[in-house]
Structure 1
Amino acid sequence: MSEPHADLQARSPWSRLGGVEAVRLFPPGEPVAAALAVPGSKSVTNRAIILAGLAAGASELAGILKSDDAWWALQALRDLGLEVEVEGETARIGGGGGRWPVGEAELYVGAAGTLGRFLPPALAAAEEGRYLVRASRRMSQRPIAPLVDALRSLGARVEYAGEEGRFPLLVSGGGLEGGPVTIPGSVSSQFTSGVLLAAPYARRPVTVRVAGGMVQPAYVQITIAMMRAFGAAVEADDDLAEIRVTPGGYRGRRLTLEADASSAAYFFALAAASGGEVAVTNIGSATLQPDLGFVHVLERMGAKVELAPNRTVVRGPERLRGGFSVSLRAMSDQTPTLAALAVMADGPVTITDVAHVRHHESDRIAAMAAELGRLGIRADEHPDGLTVWPGRPRPARLDPHDDHRIAMSLALLALAAPGLEIANPGTTSKTFPDYWDFLKRLGFGVETL
């Protein structure tokens, strides 16, 4: 494969297009029109897998997202000695009740930010065991020190097995003592969620205080809701500045997981940009996922939106409106999506408050600016975002920087640049292996190269 950024070790048996160098895209001959159901939520799936592994008794999780991230989460539980069975989109997990049957193991989290921040606390909470936790090349470059520092302050035994502040980690059992802990909230809410997920197995209550404001607090709300669903006692201030967890563990349960709002956003974007209509039939206003809020950005661009508890419809305008600035702090995964849409608007769009996305699967601000530049589009980087100017993109082969969200967002531009090519299309397997098949269902021509 010629694409230089691909980290093939992070691919799983659930990957797609592993041997495909690129896809060439052609738009449908008419506005995009469809009613569809999107796959399960990555964020909910990986939280549920860790909770089921920690719980006492068996759990059945229906509607899991079968992606690379979920594969590595389930494989970690298998490597720890738990019984894991997957049938279709349902996973059955025999929980360990806060203990791991295998006392020494080497575990791999792939490129999954959720798993990389959730698994080490779960390991540290056990009374026994010694585990080496490795990650993909890119995940090993992403920050982990705030999590390690927080765990150590709670009495965990966590060491760096290589470079200070990076994976791999050596986690030794011994349990969490509990007590107060302060976690910086400005880099990733996943650090807070990771500590919370393990907190019910501490010897005494855990009080988590978030310093400096929290990036994407809605994801911590999702964590708390799921902890409660598995039987944990959690209290939180309205602003999540302080969260209190009482010891008591989790109990296995049956749970149907909700669909992924982040994935739905690409299809809402296609409706908006093509002047078409897309109904997503399994996600709506009942969700806590912040990325559903992207439909309100589309409203600013002229789209019409209908929201029901479990259904969302977006109808596109004749031409997308630009000429505004918007904070995507609460839904920063949509930074590449909006950057792509801005190319097709009638004025520039400035995205702010997303400096933290420079530390995701790629530097998403720099990556989008670079790839839009290859299309002949002006994109000005800022420390915390970028401004994208409308234009006529010329077809080119684009590099998604081994980032699933960059790949899926750049694909939207096939609407304006027929023949656009996306290298390393298999990168979408991280969260949406069937993305290219969904585009075919919507009428796109998708040629593998």
Structure 2
Amino acid sequence: MALSRPRDGHSPWAPARRSAITLSPPAHPIHAELTVPGSKSFANRALILAAQAEGTSQLGGFLRSDDTYWCLDALRRLGVRAEVEGETVTVEGCGGRWPVARGSLFAGSAGTVARFLPGALAAAPGGEWVLDGSDQLRSRPLEPLVQALRTLGGHVEAVEGGGLPLRVWGGGLRGGRVSISGKVSSQFLSGLLLAAPKADASVTVEVEDDLVQPAYVGITLAVMRRFGARVEHDAGFRRIEVHPGPYRAADHVLEADASTASYFLALAAASGGRVRVTNVGAASLQPDARFVDVLEAMGARVIRGDAFLEVAGSGHLRGGLTVDMKPMSDQALTVGVLAALADGPVTVTGVAHIRQHESDRIAVLAANLGALGIRAEEHPDGFTVHPGEPRPGTVDPHDDHRVAMAFALLAARVPGVRILGPGCVSKTYPGFFEKLGRLGVGVQSE
């Protein structure tokens, strides 16, 4: 099955390409109640398990984004029937025997696909596949996952270097005890766990060092249990035992994306407005649902409900803070951008691993703030941003959706912020800039 490899991770679901957009502040403070789309983190976990399950699953709250497109594309190339209608995707599971047992698969720039699919392939009774990705994804590490799968008897090898492309042979996993690093990405551990119920015997996983973003491991285990997996673990996810058994089809409504919600809540804090997100609340398992704690520390007023979050800005952002963003590192850049508008310096710690995401996020943050006249210092595990008067200028997101979304927040106060390649937001929320426009932010396309 021939497969041409796009160099970037943009999918047919991405909006029309624009070379740049220029943002300007709203005429009045933003006051809005809104919903945000579904979480691609939940979606791709659930898609891969539904595809391996026995029976047909329906997943509601589905988001059409680059990452979910490439996950569906890979599953369809494996012979899985999956149909999307509105916000619902229906998946006919194959019981762990992929109907198409040989071919090429493409993950786009989706780290979830690159880390979650190899185990599902290796656990199959047979087959041979090559999994590749965008140039960006090829640069991201996979070695901890590859070594862990080999320890369990999986046949996986990196074709070039230590990342994609990977060649994976089916043949099953034997089970047993395995150690894996958690300090670079929790997705390595999640990818191993998702495959573990398909092993011949129980799998005991031990995390050998720090685990970044353990909440996402909790999300993985919750989704696995939804599809019938039997799992036991300690309080910190340092030791997890997974028992063998089939995945069973399940109907499931995917959670809305707390990471996406955070940008709109941060916009309220920056602009002195008020935003309530009505479909993500304090009861969420997603760590970014706790980002409102940081906004509160920076002077915003916060109301928390189980199913909603509300932030009202005071018109003043408080600095003089040091914040450990390890538990919710996707929002580290959001704090860095807000810090430029604060009344004192803000230091973010605990996020050394974000240098190995879609971009070196610490270096890219510092460079782009510098281009706008704001001093930022890089540290091994974070950064310090000194407040000032951001000037109009151009932001290069390096094709990283988190960079583009975070710097868009400057539009709360700063006219003339120009963002190159804004289509990178299609990785998680293709309609992000259109939503900003509907809230009153000026969005001019080039």
Q: State TM-score, norm by structure 2.
A: 0.98
**Distance in 2 of aligned mates of 1:8 and 1:266:** 28
Paired residues of 1:124 and 1:158 also in contact (CA < 8 A): yes
Paired residues of 2:271 and 2:413 also in contact (CA < 8 A): no
Give the aligned residue type for 2:149.
L
1:240 and 2:237 are equivalent in the alignment: yes
1:221 and 2:207 are equivalent in the alignment: no
Give the aligned residue type for 1:360.
H
Shift of 1:362: 0.2
Matches within 5 A, 1:310-329: 310-329=307-326
**Distance in 1 of aligned mates of 2:88 and 2:41:** 16
Paired residues of 1:51 and 1:250 also in contact (CA < 8 A): yes
* Secondary structure at the counterpart of residue 89 of structure 2: strand
Matches within 5 A, 1:60-75: 60-75=58-73
Give the aligned residue type for 2:336.
A
* Secondary structure at the counterpart of residue 10 of structure 1: coil
Shift of 1:8: 5.5
Matches within 5 A, 1:149-188: 149-163=147-161, 165-188=162-185
Shift of 1:293: 1.1
Give the aligned residue type for 2:106.
Y
Shift of 1:54: 1.1
Shift of 1:9: 3.2
Shift of 1:32: 1.4
**Distance in 1 of aligned mates of 2:387 and 2:341:** 6
**Distance in 2 of aligned mates of 1:370 and 1:36:** 32
Paired residues of 2:269 and 2:314 also in contact (CA < 8 A): yes
Give the aligned residue type for 2:384.
T
1:422 and 2:419 are equivalent in the alignment: yes
1:23 and 2:21 are equivalent in the alignment: yes
Give the aligned residue type for 1:339.
G
Give the aligned residue type for 2:52.
L
Paired residues of 1:82 and 1:95 also in contact (CA < 8 A): yes
Partner of 2:78: 80
Aligned length: 441
**Distance in 2 of aligned mates of 1:53 and 1:447:** 41
* Secondary structure at the counterpart of residue 9 of structure 1: coil
1:303 and 2:300 are equivalent in the alignment: yes
Give the aligned residue type for 1:317.
S
Question: Structure 1, residues 120-178: CA drift from partner, whole Å, max 9, x if none?
Answer: 01100001000000011111111100000000000000011122x11100000000000
Partner of 2:11: 12
Partner of 2:364: 367
Give the aligned residue type for 1:105.
G
Shift of 1:26: 1.0
1:192 and 2:189 are equivalent in the alignment: yes
* C-alpha RMSD over aligned residues: 0.9
1:286 and 2:280 are equivalent in the alignment: no
Matches within 5 A, 1:36-51: 36-51=34-49
Give the aligned residue type for 1:340.
V
Percent identity over the alignment is 56
Paired residues of 1:218 and 1:290 also in contact (CA < 8 A): yes
Paired residues of 1:176 and 1:202 also in contact (CA < 8 A): yes
Partner of 1:124: 122
Paired residues of 2:412 and 2:441 also in contact (CA < 8 A): no
Partner of 2:350: 353
**Distance in 1 of aligned mates of 2:422 and 2:30:** 22
* Secondary structure at the counterpart of residue 192 of structure 2: helix
Partner of 1:407: 404
Paired residues of 2:8 and 2:136 also in contact (CA < 8 A): no
Give the aligned residue type for 1:412.
L
Give the aligned residue type for 1:108.
F
Paired residues of 1:59 and 1:93 also in contact (CA < 8 A): yes
Partner of 1:3: none
* Secondary structure at the counterpart of residue 245 of structure 1: strand
1:448 and 2:445 are equivalent in the alignment: yes
Identify the match of residue 102 of structure 1 among 95, 100, 103: 100
Paired residues of 2:7 and 2:134 also in contact (CA < 8 A): no
Shift of 1:90: 0.8
**Distance in 1 of aligned mates of 2:381 and 2:15:** 33
* Secondary structure at the counterpart of residue 55 of structure 2: strand
**Distance in 2 of aligned mates of 1:318 and 1:266:** 17
Question: Structure 1, residues 356-382: CA drift from partner, whole Å, max 9, x if none?
Answer: 000000000000000000001000110
**Distance in 2 of aligned mates of 1:246 and 1:52:** 18
**Distance in 2 of aligned mates of 1:394 and 1:17:** 29
* Secondary structure at the counterpart of residue 138 of structure 1: helix
Give the aligned residue type for 1:74.
L
Shift of 1:415: 2.2
Give the aligned residue type for 2:432.
Y
Give the aligned residue type for 1:276.
G
**Distance in 1 of aligned mates of 2:50 and 2:198:** 14
Paired residues of 2:213 and 2:327 also in contact (CA < 8 A): yes
Give the aligned residue type for 1:389.
H
Paired residues of 2:7 and 2:135 also in contact (CA < 8 A): no
**Distance in 2 of aligned mates of 1:387 and 1:249:** 48
Question: Structure 1, residues 81-138: CA drift from partner, whole Å, max 9, x if none?
Answer: 0111011111111111111000101000111111110000110000100000001111
**Distance in 1 of aligned mates of 2:11 and 2:437:** 23
Give the aligned residue type for 2:142.
I
* Secondary structure at the counterpart of residue 56 of structure 1: coil
**Distance in 1 of aligned mates of 2:325 and 2:183:** 14
1:91 and 2:84 are equivalent in the alignment: no
Shift of 1:416: 2.7
Question: Structure 1, residues 167-201: CA drift from partner, whole Å, max 9, x if none?
Answer: 10000000000001100111110000001001111
**Distance in 2 of aligned mates of 1:264 and 1:198:** 30
* Secondary structure at the counterpart of residue 8 of structure 2: helix
1:277 and 2:269 are equivalent in the alignment: no
Paired residues of 1:392 and 1:416 also in contact (CA < 8 A): no
Partner of 1:436: 433
**Distance in 2 of aligned mates of 1:347 and 1:101:** 58
Unaligned residue ranges in structure 2 (runs of 5+): 1-5
Shift of 1:398: 1.1
**Distance in 2 of aligned mates of 1:27 and 1:56:** 51
Partner of 1:208: 205
